[in-house]
Amino acid sequence: MIILENHPLGKLNTFGIDAVARFYVELSSTEQMKEFLQKPEFKNIPKLILGGGSNLLFTKQVLDCVVLKNNIRGINKVREDKEHVYVRSGAGENWHNFVMYCIEHNYAGIENLSLIPGNVGAGPMQNIGAYGVELKDVFQELEALNLADLKTEIFNREQCEFGYRESVFKKQARNKYIITSVTFCLNKTPTFHTSYGAINQELEAMGVSELSIAAISQAVCNIRRSKLPDPAVIGNAGSFFKNPEVDEQKFAALKTQFPAIVGYPLDNKKVKLAAGWLIEQCGWKGKILGEAGVHDKQALVLVNYGKATGKELYDLSQRVLDSVKEKFGVELEREVNIY
C-alpha cells in the first residue's frame, strides 16, 4: 500500500481539473481498505472515495482529505435460476467493460447503459441511467464498508432508496460508506428498449434486421460518440444538471408561455423537463467564458476547454442555474458531485 502526499488529480477526473490531494491511496481489496482506515494518523481526516472521476468537480486547489481510489476488481457469476443470472462485480471494474462482459455472455438488461464512463461502484450512487433504463432495473444488492465501524453491510434495492439519478448514498449515507461490490440480476431472455431517443433510427441506419443486445449496445455507442464530448479530448463530466420535475399545472402554464417546451409526463403526476432545452433557450449553448463553456451540441454538458479551474466551472453552472430560474421559474439541481 503506497500512501502519496500532495498527489496531482488532473488525470484522475474527466473534467481535467488540476487539483491536488493532501493524501492519496489506491486500494484493491476490502481487507486493504480496513487496514488503511485503521491507521490512527488517517482516522480523523475526511475521505473522498474516487472511482473513474467522471461525475465530480473539484472546486478547491488542494483537497484537504485522503482521496481513496477504489480498485477492487473481479467479475463473477454467483448463481442462476430459470430466468436470471446473478453477477457480482468489484466496485473498481470499469462500467463499460462490465457491460461488454454481460453482452459477451448474453446476459441482458444493461445494454442501453453502454459507454457510460466510470466504475461499477459509482453506478448505484446516482442510479446511473440512459435511454430509458436505470441501474435499479437490474440491481440485486451491494456490499459496502461502513467508514464508522469498518463493518461490511449489505444493501438491497429498497435500502438504496433509488430515485431519478439519486440514492441513499447521495443523501443521508453520503460519505459514510465505500461501496465494494455490486450484484446484478440479469435476464436470460432480453426485453429490448429501443423507443428512447434515436436508438430505432440508429438501428435502421446500421441495417440491423434482427434485434440483439449487442446491436442495441452498438447503436447506443454510436449515438453517444456522435453527440457527447469525449473526456479524453474535452474535459467534462456528462450532464452537469438533472432534468427537473414540475407539477402538471406548472407545466401547463409554461406550455402556454413557451409552446415549444419539451416535457415528459411521469407516473407521479409530474412532468420531466429537458434541462438541456431550458439552458439552450437562455442562450447558453456553445457559450465560452474563459476556458469554461457550455457544450455546443448538448447544453446540459459543461466543458473545460483547457485550463479552466473547478471554481470557474462552478461559477458558470451558477450563472446557468440563475438564468433558467429567471426565465422559467424552474430550479435546476446539479447532478455532478461538488468537492
Instruction: Residue 56: name its binding partner from ligand NAP, ligand FAD, none (Cβ under 5 to 8 Å by kind).
Output: ligand FAD
Instruction: Residue 293: name its binding partner from ligand FAD, ligand NAP, none (Cβ under 5 to 8 Å by kind).
Output: none
The answer to whether 71 contacts ligand FAD (rule: CB under 6 A) is no
Catalytic residue among 54, 114, 181, 239: 239
Query: Is 73 in the active site?
Result: no
Alpha helices in the chain (DSSP H): 30-37, 95-104, 157-160, 199-205, 213-227, 248-257, 275-281, 310-328
The answer to whether 130 contacts ligand FAD (rule: CB under 6 A) is yes
Query: Is 239 in the active site?
Result: yes
Instruction: Residue 121: name its binding partner from ligand FAD, ligand NAP, none (Cβ under 5 to 8 Å by kind).
Output: ligand FAD
Contact call for residues 198 and 175 (beta carbons, < 8 A): no
Q: Angle at Cα 138 formed by Cα 136 and Cα 140, nearest 5°?
A: 85
Alpha helices in 87-227 (DSSP H): 95-104, 157-160, 199-205, 213-227
Closer to ligand FAD by Cβ: residue 281 or 337: 337
CB of 146 vs ligand NAP, minimal distance in Å: 28
Binding site for ligand NAP (CB under 6 A): 129-131, 196-197, 227-228, 238-239, 243, 264, 274, 276, 298, 335
Q: Which residues, 6+ apart, have CB-to-CB distance to 125 below 8 Å?
A: 55, 167, 169, 170, 179
Cα distance between residue 132 and residue 125, in whole Å: 18
Instruction: Considering only CA atoms, give the Rg of the chain.
Output: 21
Q: Which residue in this structure is represented by grid cell 456522435?
A: 226
Closer to ligand FAD by Cβ: residue 126 or 304: 126
Q: Which residue in this structure is represented by grid cell 502526499?
A: 5
Extract the C-alpha cell encoding 21.
490531494
Binding residue for ligand FAD, selected from 50, 223, 299, 313, defined by CB under 6 A = 50
Catalytic residue among 88, 89, 114, 165: 165
242: which DSSP letter? P
Closer to ligand FAD by Cβ: residue 79 or 227: 227
Footprint of ligand FAD on residues 2-31 (CB under 6 A)?
Answer: 14
Amino acid identity at 179: I
Closer to ligand NAP by Cβ: residue 80 or 197: 197
Query: Is 134 in the active site?
Result: no
Catalytic machinery residues: 165, 239, 335
State the residues that interact with ligand FAD by CB under 6 A. 14, 48-56, 70, 91, 116-119, 121-123, 125-126, 128-130, 177-179, 228, 231, 236-238, 337
